[in-house]
Structure 1
């Protein structure tokens, strides 16, 4: 039997890398724990509409929402359509005014005079003000959005503007942030989340105009841009940044519906970086999805979202349908209050959004982790096919220098990604390799009892999970900086981490076992076994098995990441919801439902001397769980403590399911004997 030796120097380097990783992980944990304030936001227009639907004063709804937990109201730029509906201005088309005149329905002397003197044009738009300040702001906004040549004051006393624009289009254009709404919101005791949009061919006056509106308003907490560009893009971002810093505003990053990074807004990320990372991730339940969710489901969604994805601004939409036995206002107040209570019970507090300290790990700690990852890679190669120790050290030193040099120069983002990918792939394989080598060295005679299988399965799985966790710590540490917390940067290579460990453990397995012999091991190398596998006769049952494997691979790979489109069964969604409520961190199904039970069955296959191919299959499936466990730490937006607990929860649940799987197989074995389907000697 070929012997594989574990190089102690390489192991020592891995341990040193682990110590460095744990140092960074602890620092990261403290930073994550210091940012636990959630800003509960609702749109100002939603609150006003709710008051109108219920027929109660807006002030009353405002105070009730504040008591329920809303801390801030989002104020959008106004439009002529909104102002017209609210009665703050009247918006008329020239064609409409002329129709009124020629049909004898226009009795206003001023308008008749304007028409008769030819100052009314059918293709123009006319705005009539009521409040002088609102009228002044509308005039200012229209001039900035259009040009001074296209906006004319027809009658300053009557506050009439003539605007050369298409009526259907101009009434829907964003104008500017309404001062009256922002003052009202601030006066009601809320923070204001301002939502400006960029200008076409933006100029300095445009940017300054936005912040002039904000300058006289207290309690502006955050800025969340509307549209595909940040205010000031492309050339005036420095000016916007200067104004943002001056008001000490938090920039909002709206999470993408696919839950991967956020809506792309040109110029936003560079601005957030230059703002010393004073930015917060924003989540809003999609408008077409919320009506399908019951209030309790939506509440749970918010709690899980804030816990798992570093969301710090919750933009809540109102429900448009009342629950049975409640008014619409009561339905929404209860919804908001339940979100607040659920977050507080989960350890969050409510207020102005918390932000992350601009943390970056110490370079020398990153170098130690990099060296540890290189040591793990060289160790893996030596466990595939042993080669002289001197060559191991030479390869180790060469690769360490190549990877450490960019880090020491102050760059090395690509190196950090490579180290994370290497750790996510290699460490699960090393954990399973250690287990295989342990089994090869031990005597399995007399270990086939049911209790022996369960006992060794539990012990072996715990150790294997702990070894895989080393890789998780490496990943969590080497990419553990504020850019990854905010998902400005993400781990590259998720698909690889799901596939590569399965290929590598296959190589490891073939280097240790003869896949086609059950009792006798020979010295056939890996390639000869691959050739024999390729020459293996094809049967219908073989094709069916291959088809099942292909379907399983499609689901397995397709479920990774965020863009696969592989459907999730309704029963699985319900199970996820149950686990989210029952456990601190919902374990991954591929771990506790598939991989960990397969580990128990691998023990059973080995101890009961089942066909070697069955043992191999269980080892590959068990490796899925180990790879998934390490890949969990690649979700850097998730607090590292939650990722760790998720892995432990998955192991505990997997032990339970694994025991059930062993018992179920044992029952089937007994039934096959009783029914005469298999000779008793094979049991």
Structure 2
């Protein structure tokens, strides 16, 4: 039986490795990072001269937003006249038709507007008077985005910077062709505002139009500026998309040059971001230092400063993933057979039936479900194993047990990574679901198992009746309140979005850890979970310390959770886990010394 289990485990590792090697290859082969500058802000801070300078040193593109005719009129770049109100004097008052609106301005502006609206039949353009006439009934056109600054277009041509249009969502997907016609050599588009063009009913048409124009989609990281429909649009485009990182202007000034450089670099190195959206500091010298330092740091890390390309499409590993799931089911049933043969057979038959049904009807739901089950069950089984082998251990046994449990958690995390891996997770369009469940449920199951073991020799019904009959003490209330507070804090600081903020002290600690290590280890692992597990292993069968073993699951749960951040490079996730574990191994002798010292005065 042991040989069969070992063979299955080897097969699992082989299948897992095939998928993970491809993930690492896709991440490692894409080294092109694009630096794009926000034209409006560089123009506002009068620092356009820097764009010319840095276009020869790695700056690749220029992000340009659209303006409406009303915005242009407020800037005195054009005039708008009608019977309802006048601005400018391009038409004599007796020429004004009450049913028309007259727009006058430079040919460079009006020419671009006419190209954009060339399919509208009710417009009239008078080249001699440089005047565009639209019906009063079409006054809504005055507020629609329509114009890209001609100075930006000229700067782009002069410096060979690619243009990235910031297309506003209140435009239509049909207008994308007009934009592409008026702007040459486009490679990428980043929508501005809170949603993408075509949301929510016309995303398929928008995707088709972008594919026709051979445009990549810039996906702003969701924690920065979530855009409704962006993930769905990227999926419709077969993931021809780039992850984009930016920093808000006020935050940029607060961070300073070096912190801003580190944050952009971290986005590239640790989250697979490939397009960096740069904004200027108010001080031109700081802006120059910022861009120079960022370029140098990226180059030193062997990133190529060039127009970014989407990640290579991952292979379809559906058959391998099905095989991986079947091997996991078989291994689980073989272990169940040692306790109950009937249960093992029932599990095998029901498992095969569910796999077949999900495979035919809801394949993606199957891998999500299996991944969540692994994330919940593995830490729970680790706790059961530790309780069943509880004893005082030597220093060598503590090392080996801690490493063995950690290795199991790493393997579980890597299996989940292999099951979920595809471009949708790589771009963070999809994320591992049930994070809070995976953090809480193993602890609850572990506590239930421990209490169940304690009650085996007792009448559970009688115990419950006695417990309910007893008056509630202040100690019990304090313990319950403390448990609730810790539980809320634990779950509040778990997952992709925290509902409990990070304190300034923690921010400072994170900063120093990030500077000292290549990647920062996770607090819940090296400060909470791993120390609790080690203390529980040291003190052996004492009941108080058996609860520490349960707390030690937090570190193992964190290991699995770290590895299932699929938008992060696999090497970075593994390094983060290794650093957290290494920190514990380095201080184990200190724990041991304290415990040996205390044994002389402490009685069990």
- Shorter chain as denominator, the TM-score bin is 0.7 to 0.9
Q: Which residue of 2 aligns with 1:226?
A: 192
Paired with 2:460 and 2:306, the residues of 1 have a C-alpha distance of 61
Q: Does 1:593 align with 2:527?
A: yes
Partners of 2:358 and 2:365 within 8 A in 1: no
Q: Which residue of 1 aligns with 2:578?
A: 648
Calculate the TM-score normalised by the size of structure 2. 0.88
Partners of 1:251 and 1:278 within 8 A in 2: yes
1:437-492 superposed Cα distances (whole Å, 9 cap, x missing partner): 3435xxx4xx5xxxx4x543333211110011111111110001111111222211
Q: Does 1:73 align with 2:62?
A: yes
Q: Which residue of 2 aligns with 1:160?
A: 131
Partners of 1:592 and 1:655 within 8 A in 2: no
1:310-353 superposed Cα distances (whole Å, 9 cap, x missing partner): 21111122222xxxxxxx22211111222222233344322111
- Return the match for 2:51 from 62, 74, 82: 62
Q: Residues 284-433 of structure 1 correspond to what in structure 2 (within 5 A)?
A: 284-320=246-282, 328-375=283-330, 378=333, 387-404=339-356, 406-407=358-359, 409=360, 411-433=362-384
Q: Which residue of 1 aligns with 2:551?
A: 621
| Count, aligned residues | 604
Partners of 1:376 and 1:426 within 8 A in 2: no
Partners of 1:596 and 1:625 within 8 A in 2: yes
1:575-605 superposed Cα distances (whole Å, 9 cap, x missing partner): 1122222222211100000010011210232
1:262-299 superposed Cα distances (whole Å, 9 cap, x missing partner): 4223xx54543343322111122234533332222222
Q: What's the CA shift for 1:510?
A: 4.4
Q: What's the CA shift for 1:393?
A: 3.5
- Return the match for 1:45 from 22, 40, 44: 40
Q: Which residue of 2 aligns with 1:181?
A: 152
- Return the match for 1:128 from 86, 97, 104: 104
Q: Residues 463-612 of structure 1 correspond to what in structure 2 (within 5 A)?
A: 463-510=404-451, 514=454, 523=457, 538-606=472-540, 610=542, 612=543
Paired with 1:460 and 1:359, the residues of 2 have a C-alpha distance of 37
Paired with 1:369 and 1:528, the residues of 2 have a C-alpha distance of 46
Paired with 2:467 and 2:590, the residues of 1 have a C-alpha distance of 33
Task: Give SS of 1:31's match.
Answer: helix
Q: Does 1:253 align with 2:253?
A: no
Q: Which residue of 2 aligns with 1:103?
A: none
Task: Give SS of 1:158's match.
Answer: coil
Paired with 2:587 and 2:382, the residues of 1 have a C-alpha distance of 21
Paired with 1:550 and 1:659, the residues of 2 have a C-alpha distance of 34
Partners of 1:177 and 1:196 within 8 A in 2: no
Paired with 1:577 and 1:168, the residues of 2 have a C-alpha distance of 53
Higher Rg of the two aligned structures? 1
560-569 vs 161-170, which moves further: 161-170
Q: Which residue of 1 aligns with 2:243?
A: 281
1:180-239 superposed Cα distances (whole Å, 9 cap, x missing partner): 633531331212212223556x474x343223223xx13x22112234554456776666
Paired with 1:181 and 1:596, the residues of 2 have a C-alpha distance of 55
The CA RMSD over aligned residues, in Å, is 3.6
Q: Does 1:29 align with 2:24?
A: yes
Partners of 2:124 and 2:132 within 8 A in 1: yes
Paired with 1:533 and 1:470, the residues of 2 have a C-alpha distance of 41
Q: Which residue of 1 aligns with 2:603?
A: 682
Q: Which has the bigger relative contact order, CA under 8 A and spacing at least 6?
A: 1
Aligned CA distance change for structure 1 residues 278 and 625 (closer, same or farther; 3 Å): same
Paired with 2:20 and 2:463, the residues of 1 have a C-alpha distance of 42
Aligned CA distance change for structure 1 residues 224 and 203 (closer, same or farther; 3 Å): closer
Q: What's the CA shift for 1:171?
A: 6.1
Partners of 2:383 and 2:550 within 8 A in 1: no
Q: What's the CA shift for 1:21?
A: 1.6
Aligned CA distance change for structure 1 residues 196 and 90 (closer, same or farther; 3 Å): same
Paired with 2:176 and 2:202, the residues of 1 have a C-alpha distance of 8
Q: Which runs of 5+ in 1 are unaligned?
A: 1-5, 101-107, 321-327, 516-521, 674-679
Partners of 2:82 and 2:97 within 8 A in 1: no
Paired with 1:306 and 1:618, the residues of 2 have a C-alpha distance of 38
Q: What's the CA shift for 1:49?
A: 2.6
Q: What's the CA shift for 1:507?
A: 4.0
Aligned CA distance change for structure 1 residues 548 and 166 (closer, same or farther; 3 Å): farther
Task: Give SS of 1:289's match.
Answer: helix
Paired with 2:173 and 2:420, the residues of 1 have a C-alpha distance of 39
Paired with 2:571 and 2:378, the residues of 1 have a C-alpha distance of 20
Paired with 1:536 and 1:464, the residues of 2 have a C-alpha distance of 40
Aligned CA distance change for structure 1 residues 286 and 133 (closer, same or farther; 3 Å): closer
Q: What's the CA shift for 1:638?
A: 1.1
Paired with 1:543 and 1:173, the residues of 2 have a C-alpha distance of 61
Paired with 1:493 and 1:379, the residues of 2 have a C-alpha distance of 27
Calculate the TM-score normalised by the size of structure 1. 0.78
Q: Which runs of 5+ in 2 are unaligned?
A: none
Q: What's the CA shift for 1:551?
A: 1.4
303-312 vs 161-170, which moves further: 161-170
Q: What's the CA shift for 1:631?
A: 1.4
Partners of 2:100 and 2:135 within 8 A in 1: yes
Paired with 1:388 and 1:232, the residues of 2 have a C-alpha distance of 56
Paired with 2:603 and 2:128, the residues of 1 have a C-alpha distance of 102
Aligned CA distance change for structure 1 residues 393 and 547 (closer, same or farther; 3 Å): same
Q: Residues 207-218 of structure 1 correspond to what in structure 2 (within 5 A)?
A: 207-214=176-183, 217-218=184-185
Paired with 1:470 and 1:272, the residues of 2 have a C-alpha distance of 31
Q: Which residue of 2 aligns with 1:677?
A: none
Paired with 2:191 and 2:25, the residues of 1 have a C-alpha distance of 30
